[in-house]
Amino acid sequence: MALSNTTTTYGSVTRSFHWLTALLILTLIPIAMIAEELPYETSEQLATKAWLFSLHKTLGVTVFFVALLRIIWTLNQTKPSPLHPDSKTETFMAETAHWLLYGSLVLAPMSGWIHHAATSGFAPIWWPLGQGLPLVPKSEAVSAFAGGLHWVFGKVMIVSILLHIAGALKHQVIDKDATLRRMINGAPDLAALPETHHSKTPFLAALAVWAAALAVGAGIGVYSKPEGATETAELEDVASEWTVQDGTIGISVTQFGSTVEGTFSDWTANISFDPDVMSGPSGAVDVTIAIGSLTLGSVTDQAMGPDFFNAKDFPTARFTADLITGVDGFLAEGTLTIKQQSIPVSMPFRLSTSGKEANVQAQLDLDRRDFGIGDNMPDESSLGFGVNAVIDLTATRE
């Protein structure tokens, strides 16, 4: 059995690439469709959904590398001549569909991989390659753009596959020729065919289809995260002795053993502090956070839902504390309120001052169960109990 192609037949390597790719694609597409429809209201449901998405992503990465190898092999092989060279239109359409399929086999998994690498949380890829990619930053904008590309490329892939299958059935049922047989067993009994010159026109036509598909994607807005999915509370301006010029309030959680980090983009802080106090009470702080401004990787929407932060009914969180200067450092003693659940908090922090500027850094370990967050997930197999809050603020004194 010949390994390489001839002008008449496909070699065993080409046929193996073809059927391996078909098996992978016809497995991962329905898996993604099933996973999309599954609920995730309980820990068990979320685990099942995540497992299916991990399988989909892992198979997608496999398709990416198989497709690259297949294309490299194809470019170095003789392309068998069409069985009906006089049918110019049919040959043109078949070759255009092939170019669309080759492109989507690389672009769809690549864009999905970039989408995964640019965000964090939910359904890791099982290949031991890490969850990130070189030159791909953790960015919700990059993630949304790549996710939109993945959607477009995936749709083109599905259409290309359907056209490919329809063409194969047409040859088998209507034409009753050896098109399908020579991809199954090489059709060794097929008579010799004259070598045919292959035009670049189908490739250019495929590029035009790609451009049109990408334009449609832009027209329906798939390359950016939908605005207004979660309403964010409008916070009133506050007068403060110290005005925050720059800073972040972030949290990290553990989901399926992986750390997922996020930040709040909208919050206010009323800070009073006397750096000249050497011991005892030295100020106070009152921070209000817009819960809807949280970005938490791929699980942002889930975090905003009624089983978690419930941002619709509880749009803000509040931290009030007295600031205490001690011999060994600084302490914020107060109360943190989330979802109308208040718990006492004692938070050490580091303070560095330079003239009228001060920088504060602190970490606070919380338990999500204290605030009724994720009560539908009563164990840590899917979502850890611990939440680590990180504060890094730079403020100036008027």
Tokens representing 37 are: 């429809």
**Coil vs helix vs strand at 368:** helix
Q: What local confidence, expressed as pLDDT, does residue 1 receive?
A: 62
More confident residue, 208 or 79: 208
Residues with Cβ < 8 Å from 296, sequence gap 6 or more? 121, 251, 253, 260, 261, 262, 303
Domains and CATH numbers, the chain: 12-219 (1.20.950), 242-397 (2.40.128.110)
pLDDT (tens digit per residue) in 289-340: 999 999 998 889 889 999 999 999 999 999 999 999 988 889 999 999 999 9
124 backbone dihedrals φ, ψ, rounded to 5°: -70, 155
Q: What local confidence, expressed as pLDDT, does residue 223 receive?
A: 93
Amino acid letter at 107?
A: L
**Left (φ > 0), alpha (ψ -120 to 50) or beta: where does 339 sit?**
left
The Cα–Cα gap between 274 and 330 comes to 12
Rg, Å, the chain Cα set? 29
Mean pLDDT of the chain: 91
Q: Which residues sit opposite 281 in a β-bridge?
A: 324
pLDDT (tens digit per residue) in 123-143: 899 999 888 999 999 898 999
Tell me, what DSSP letter sits at residue 353? E
Tokens representing 383 are: 């979502």
Determine contact, residues 390/347, Cβ cutoff 8 Å: no
Amino acid letter at 88?
A: K
Residues with Cβ < 8 Å from 212, sequence gap 6 or more? none
More confident residue, 223 or 225: 223
Distances (CA, A) of 276 to 273, 280, 325, 355: 9, 11, 10, 12
pLDDT (tens digit per residue) in 330-381: 999 999 999 999 999 999 999 998 888 999 999 999 999 999 999 988 888 8
Which of 89-93, 186-190, 217-221 is the least confident region?
Answer: 186-190
Q: What local confidence, expressed as pLDDT, does residue 198 receive?
A: 67
Distances (CA, A) of 191 to 14, 43, 94, 128, 337: 20, 61, 21, 47, 80
Q: What local confidence, expressed as pLDDT, does residue 195 receive?
A: 65
% the chain with pLDDT above 90 = 67
The Cα–Cα gap between 186 and 16 comes to 11
Buried b (16+ CB within 10 A) or exposed e, 321-345: bebbbeeeebbbebebbbbeeeeeb
246 backbone dihedrals φ, ψ, rounded to 5°: -160, 150
pLDDT (tens digit per residue) in 237-261: 888 999 999 999 999 999 888 889 9
Q: What local confidence, expressed as pLDDT, does residue 229 receive?
A: 55
Q: Say yes or no to pLDDT of 228 above 80.
A: no
Q: What local confidence, expressed as pLDDT, does residue 115 receive?
A: 96
Nearest to residue 336, comparing CAs of 289, 292, 378, 390?
A: 289
Q: What local confidence, expressed as pLDDT, does residue 84 receive?
A: 78
In this structure, the chain runs to a length of 398
The Cα–Cα gap between 106 and 337 comes to 48
Most confident of the following: 42-46, 210-214, 372-376: 210-214
Q: What local confidence, expressed as pLDDT, does residue 42 receive?
A: 83
Q: What is the rounded average pLDDT of the residues 47-55?
A: 93
Buried b (16+ CB within 10 A) or exposed e, 82-95: bbeeeeeebbeebb
- For tokens 């922090």, the residue is 349
Q: What is the rounded average pLDDT of the residues 146-153?
A: 96
The Cα–Cα gap between 281 and 321 comes to 11
Determine contact, residues 242/397, Cβ cutoff 8 Å: yes
The Cα–Cα gap between 3 and 65 comes to 20
Q: What local confidence, expressed as pLDDT, does residue 91 receive?
A: 86
The Cα–Cα gap between 177 and 181 comes to 8
Q: Say yes or no to pLDDT of 161 above 90.
A: yes
Q: pLDDT-derived band of residue 196, with 50, 70 and 90 as boundaries?
A: low
pLDDT (tens digit per residue) in 2-22: 898 888 888 999 999 999 999
